[in-house]
Every structure is written in structure tokens, then in C-alpha cells.
Amino acid sequence: MGTYYDNSIVPDHLKRKFDVYDRIRELNIDMGSFEADVTDLKGAGICGIIFHESGLVYLSGAGGGPGQMYDDPARIKEGADAAEEIANSMIKRLHWGLTCGGEGGDLNDVIYMVKALGMVVSTDVDFNGGPAVMNGFSQRWQSVFGGGAGEFAVDGEDENYSGVHARSAIGGFTGRFSIEPEIIVAIPPELSKAIIQNRGWVFPLPPAVLKTVTAARR
């Protein structure tokens, strides 16, 4: 497991005993590469991740899916599949956000998920499937980090429940996609402080910081 996680506030009886990267490999989640996924903030109006010294990590939302949702099982499935793919991309983003600076942290140091919000695109006032669409997002985090609704659960039970989170799923938005979810996760404050002290609180990185981080990898 991660060194920061092992030394965290989590009591031993609630700690994960599995490597989340083993689950990621079994789920065939593409984790990308440093060259492709660690970029700079030049010209950016927003960022993908904000690290707070408390250990809270805020991931910006991302949109995806074929378009407006309505209460048809096949359409709901398309939206849920898109939500799962967005979760995959966020897990990859979080991996590089945690690892790119060489502070010694990675996804195994994530303590637990905190809160997710899913904005589901539907102008149908009778639409009831927002939570079902958002389930694709929530269940993927549980599959990777632990939870009774994840793919590694047996009869609703998993080895750990750190992928479970508080959640809201809200419909009624317009847009050319199906869902835009966001999530807040918790990491050990010591890791968050190490990241902030080394390279700042934002990911992607300020241009000068990216040059420094890239040079340190050579």
C-alpha cells in the first residue's frame, strides 16, 4: 500500500488490503502516460484538480455521452456507460495529479471518496433516470477503491468501502452530452502538503513547474 496511507488516520480494521492498481489492470482502465497526461495551464481558464492542505482533493467535472437522456432503458445504459468512462478518465487524472511530482504518493494513498455530483442532461420534466445514469460513475469508483456496488463486490460486500461517497444526481440541464459528474476525494494531509510545497496546489501544472518536474524525471 501507499506509505502515506499506511501512516494515515484510518484505523487498521478499515484500511484497504488490496492494491488499487491491480483492480485498475483487471478493469482495463487506460492510465495514459506522463508525456500525454501531465500538461501545463498555459491559456487555461480552469484546472482539473485542486489540492487543499486539509487533504481534500477537488476534481473538476467532465462531460460525456451521446446527448439528452430520457427514460428508455437503452438510453439510460448509454448514459451510464458514458459516466463510467468519465470516471475512468478522472481516475487517470487523479493518478497523474498524485504522482507526477515525485512526492511519493499514488492512488493507493487515497483514503476515501467524499462527495460526487452528477448533472444529467434532460429537458424532459418527467425524466426519472438521473440516479441510474450517475450509477455508472459511482460504481466505477467503488470498483477501484472498494464498495458494495462495485464489480469486485460479492453479494453486496467488498473488502473495503473507500470508494463509497455521498452523492447528488440532478437532471434538467441542456447540453450536447449526457452527464457531467465531479467528485471530491480525501488523501492524507501530509501528502497534500508535500504536493503543495513541492509544486503547488493545482493540476495541470504551471508552465515553469512542468519544466522542473519533467527535468527531475530525466
Distance separating alpha carbons of residues 40 and 170, to the nearest angstrom: 32
Of 118, 68, 71, the closest CA to residue 90 belongs to 118
- Distinct helix (H) and strand (E) counts, the chain: 7, 6
Coarse DSSP helix, strand, coil percentages of the chain, rounded to the nearest 5 percent: 40, 20, 45
Q: Is the pLDDT of residue 151 over 90?
A: yes
89 Cβ contact partners less than 8 Å away, ≥ 6 residues apart: 62
Query: Alpha-carbon torsion 66, 69, 73, 76, what sign?
Result: positive
Distance separating alpha carbons of residues 22 and 33, to the nearest angstrom: 17
Tell me the pLDDT tens digit for each residue of 155-183.
Answer: 999 999 999 999 999 998 888 899 999 99
Amino acid 89 reads: S
Query: Alpha-carbon torsion 166, 177, 98, 18, what sign?
Result: positive
**If 0-12 CB within 10 Å is exposed, 13-18 middle and 19+ buried, where does residue 196 land?**
middle
Amino acid 45 reads: G
pTM of the predicted structure, to 2 decimals: 0.97
Give the residue-averaged pLDDT of 110-129: 95
Q: What is the CATH number of domain 47-211?
A: 3.30.1330.40
State the pLDDT confidence band at 43, using cuts at 50, 70 and 90.
Answer: very high
Q: Is the pLDDT of residue 1 over 90?
A: no
Distance separating alpha carbons of residues 41 and 173, to the nearest angstrom: 28
